Amino acid sequence: MKAFQVGVWSLWSIWLTGLALIALSLYATQCFPSLKDQIMRSQLGQRAGGGLDTPRITIFSAPAPFAGSVGARQSLAVRSWLALSPQITVVLFSRDPSVVSFAGAFGLRVLVDPNIDFTKKFEMVIERPQLGQRAGGGLDTPRITIFSAPAPFAGSVGARQSLAVRSWLALSPQITVVLFSRDPSVVSFAGAFGLRVLVDPNIDFTFLGTPFFHSMMARSQSFSTDISVLVDPETIVLPDFVSTLNYAYTLDRDWLLVASSRNASYFPFYLDEDGKNWQREGGELMRTQELQEIFGQSWQWTPCEGKLLMAWNNGDTPLHSGVLPPFLYGRGVHNSWIVNEALSSELRFVFDTSWTVSSCFLIDQDRQINWPVGSSNASNFERSWEYAGNSHLGALYGSLSHHETNYSSLAKLLKCDGQYTFVNTAENIACPMEYQSAGRLRKGRILRSWRKKKTLGLVDSVKSLGWLSDCYLMVPLKRSKPLDLPFSLETLLPLNADKNNTIVLATAGYSYKDMLMSWVCRLRQLRITNFIICALDKEIYEFAVLQGLPVFRDPLAPSEISSDCHFGTKCFQKVTKVKSRMVLKILTLGYNVLLSDVDVYWFGNPLPLLYSFGPAILAAQSDEFNKTGPINVPRRLNSGFYFARSDSSTINAMRKVVAHAATSGLSEQPSFYDTLCGEGGSNRVGDDRCLEPETNLTVHFLDRDLFPNGAYLDLWQRKNVKAACAKRGCLVLHNNWISGRLKKLERQVLSGLWEYDTSTRMCRHEFNLVNKV
């Protein structure tokens, strides 16, 4: 028996030993690097020993130059990262040689990546972060991003905005704030909050700096977040807002919620230095619940005055059908328009959370918000035309002008005894939270089969507050008067001229509206703001007003401008003479002028180079197409791109050009050459100049490699026009030497030199976020 037991135990030992060897083999197979692993050994953060359970770790940072005490501290920090584990790789974003030199000592473990965007002030550009990261990575906590467009952070306005933004950040650690602005004070303010407050300049603004609402909404859709919120920059929000959002996030369909803010001219409460606790003026701490009760009892609602808080989940369903018009932010109508169209479209469940969200707008009776950019004089003008423009758009687009939405059917969200309840005041019914599960909400209405009768007192109390049911009356249903800017040429010049007293002038008629906007968008991308537009007809004037452009009328412009006003037509001949006449007028007012046709694509800012030409010199593009030979041959002066200084020689010469063109049956272009260079080129000097003897004005024909016309080197026929021009160092490229507006438009769009989205009426942007590092 004992021998039998020994035999059994021997067999068990052999079996266990074999099992152990198999396990050890499998483990060794996993540990030993494969042939592919050995070949790819240079890949970042190779796992130690090749184990699949060991993560590769890459640390990213953006250091300052490695010099002095800063360099010593950075060196110690990087070396501490490398000491953490052999599978750690470090990537340093930099273009500084000292960083490259430092990294070289660590081989492939420290890499330098210069392929991000930097500003001249050592600000780093951060591309599309995952905003509002879930706290702890929990899937049940929605990421929330709050969007707003503040005025500059200065004075009492800045103080109110600062308190409002800090109240948003205090709501929850998973909230990120994005501020649409180009003002340095906003960037400075955001820098104190790290990546929780980002500044986004990549939306459209008017020439006075007012943000475009449709551009803000479009930009918000590009962020990776679960819930988007749009709120006025001076609206304080309390934590019950997050509770409401968390509940809304559990609904089984896409939704849009709105909440009306209360108004307060006196708000004696502040956040402590940590931004976590509210306190009274004397420093006494107070509970959030206490402040929420004060919100509900002490201040009045003004639902139709534009201080509306909106939030929506980022699902697959759009907020509404159709295209959002180019409303100006904060100038009325756009909030009512969004709610109206969302209800009419029935794409989302739309509900009112004014009774579950505590928010308060800080008002100043003596102030009206403006977003001045450039000259502070802009804020001194009456801004009623901005409201008129929004009213015009509200009546023109969407269903407000022909469909009266029944706002009383808008569901209201209440919270009773800790339970959320949807109320329909139109039908005196309420639907408790337990009935809000999957399939209970359809087309923005509460299903009758799940309605539960509640006390009429609850519904009546909501009815008595009214709110959105009367807001449609605030939107005009028809246009009352023509759109008109309170600006003339004389008032626009000091607002828009640069520090050198220079204006960029363009002229356009309605048929060229899209090309005008592509030209404007390109100048905006280049941060060139000293341009003005001369409108050749009423239609382009009103279009430009709605697009926020610095536009003025020419009272002497031709009355009939056809839709095909291209080179060689009678219409073209009349229109071109407006340009020289406007240039002369601006010169006599004391401003230098860079005249640019809207079919001239700008790769860079040509003004620094053009400023190098001294007084009594007119620098103009050459229209000569031959690759070699003189470029100042007869009638090759292009009057669609030239720079003229406001001096006596230039002004007198331009008077001669305008007088000559007035009696000519041709366009103004031959008048330029014949007057300044002499008929047949009798005033030519060398291969690239002319000298007008009576005024002593020199005409300098610009280098065609830098300022090519549409026929030079067949650049427009290249497969990659932009690359071909970049190789030659082009500053501009003229889209001329082609017949017909549609052909010109097609050539420019297909070449990729097009910066305007005609379907949304917005400029195309390279979406980057700017944040101080």
| Domain final residue pick, 105, 125, 145 | 125
Tokens of 448: 């009758």
From 89-103, 349-363, 424-438, the region with the lowest mean pLDDT: 424-438
Number of Cβ within a 10 Å radius of residue 120 = 5
| Domain final residue pick, 381, 397, 426 | 381
Say which residue the tokens 């070699």 belong to: 628
In DSSP terms, 349 is beta-bridged to 255
Residues 172 and 80 in one domain: no
Is residue 99 situated within a structural domain? yes
Number of Cβ within a 10 Å radius of residue 192 = 11
Residues 273 and 338 in one domain: yes
Of residues 748 and 272, more confidence is placed in 748
Helix (H) or strand (E) holding 216: helix 213-220
Helix (H) or strand (E) holding 352: strand 349-352
Residues 652 and 548 in one domain: yes
For residue 159, give the nearest of 236, 237, 212 by alpha carbon: 236
Is residue 524 situated within a structural domain? yes
From 160-169, 231-240, 549-558, 740-749, the region with the lowest mean pLDDT: 549-558
Helix axes 489-496, 570-588, angle to 10 degrees: 70
Q: What percent of the chain has pLDDT over 90?
A: 49
Is residue 230 a contact partner of residue 219, using CB atoms and an 8 Å limit? no
280: left (phi over 0), alpha (psi -120 to 50) or beta: beta
Which amino acid is present at 741? R
**Residue 442: pLDDT over 60:** no
Q: d(Cα 7, Cα 435) in Å, to the nearest integer?
A: 69
- Would the pTM count as exceeding 0.85? no
Of residues 50 and 237, more confidence is placed in 237
Highest average pLDDT, of 357-366, 523-532, 562-571, comes from 523-532
**Residue 491: pLDDT over 60:** yes
Residues 544 and 623 in one domain: yes
Say which residue the tokens 């990262």 belong to: 81
Is residue 196 situated within a structural domain? yes
For residue 724, give the nearest of 739, 737, 708, 743 by alpha carbon: 708
10 Å CB burial of residue 548 (0-12, 13-18, 19+) is: buried
**Residue 461: pLDDT over 60:** no
Of residues 771 and 59, more confidence is placed in 59
From 103-107, 531-535, 626-630, the region with the lowest mean pLDDT: 103-107
Which residues in 449-476 are b (16+ Cβ under 10 Å) and which e? ebbeebeeebbeebbeeebbbebbebbb
Q: Which residues make Cβ contacts (< 8 Å) with residue 136, sequence separation at least 6? A: none
**Residue 752: pLDDT over 90:** yes
Q: d(Cα 771, Cα 192) in Å, to the nearest integer?
A: 10
Is residue 537 situated within a structural domain? yes
Residues 512 and 608 in one domain: yes
Q: What is the pLDDT of residue 569?
A: 60
Read off the pLDDT of each residue in 195-223 and give the average, rounded to a whole number: 93
Confidence of residue 463 (pLDDT cuts 50, 70, 90): low
Average pLDDT of every residue of the chain: 80
**Residue 687: pLDDT over 80:** yes
Q: What is the pLDDT of residue 315?
A: 85
Residues 571 and 662 in one domain: yes
Considering its fold, how many domains does the chain have in total? 3
Is residue 165 situated within a structural domain? yes
Is residue 533 situated within a structural domain? yes
Say which residue the tokens 């002095």 belong to: 68
Confidence of residue 206 (pLDDT cuts 50, 70, 90): very high
Residues 615 and 502 in one domain: yes
Residues 571 and 671 in one domain: yes
Residues 293 and 376 in one domain: yes
Helix (H) or strand (E) holding 523: helix 513-525
Helix (H) or strand (E) holding 504: strand 502-508
Q: What is the pLDDT of residue 8?
A: 44
Is residue 23 situated within a structural domain? no
**Residue 11: pLDDT over 70:** no
For residue 507, give the nearest of 623, 600, 595, 621 by alpha carbon: 595
Residues 199 and 319 in one domain: yes
510-519: per-residue pLDDT in tens? Answer: 999 999 999 9
Total length of the chain: 773
Residues 631 and 742 in one domain: yes
Tokens of 401: 């002008």
From 92-106, 435-449, 579-593, 613-627, the region with the lowest mean pLDDT: 435-449
From 19-23, 149-153, 209-213, the region with the lowest mean pLDDT: 19-23
| Domain final residue pick, 352, 381, 410 | 381
Is residue 432 situated within a structural domain? no
Q: What is the pLDDT of residue 141?
A: 83
Instruction: Indicate the DSSP class of residue 349.
Output: E
Of residues 94 and 502, more confidence is placed in 502
Residues 113 and 248 in one domain: no
Of residues 207 and 417, more confidence is placed in 207
Which residue range forms the structural domain that includes residue 666? 491-763
Of residues 553 and 432, more confidence is placed in 553
CATH number at residue 247: 3.90.550.10
Confidence of residue 496 (pLDDT cuts 50, 70, 90): very high
For residue 717, give the nearest of 692, 751, 744, 669 by alpha carbon: 751
**Residue 648: pLDDT over 80:** yes
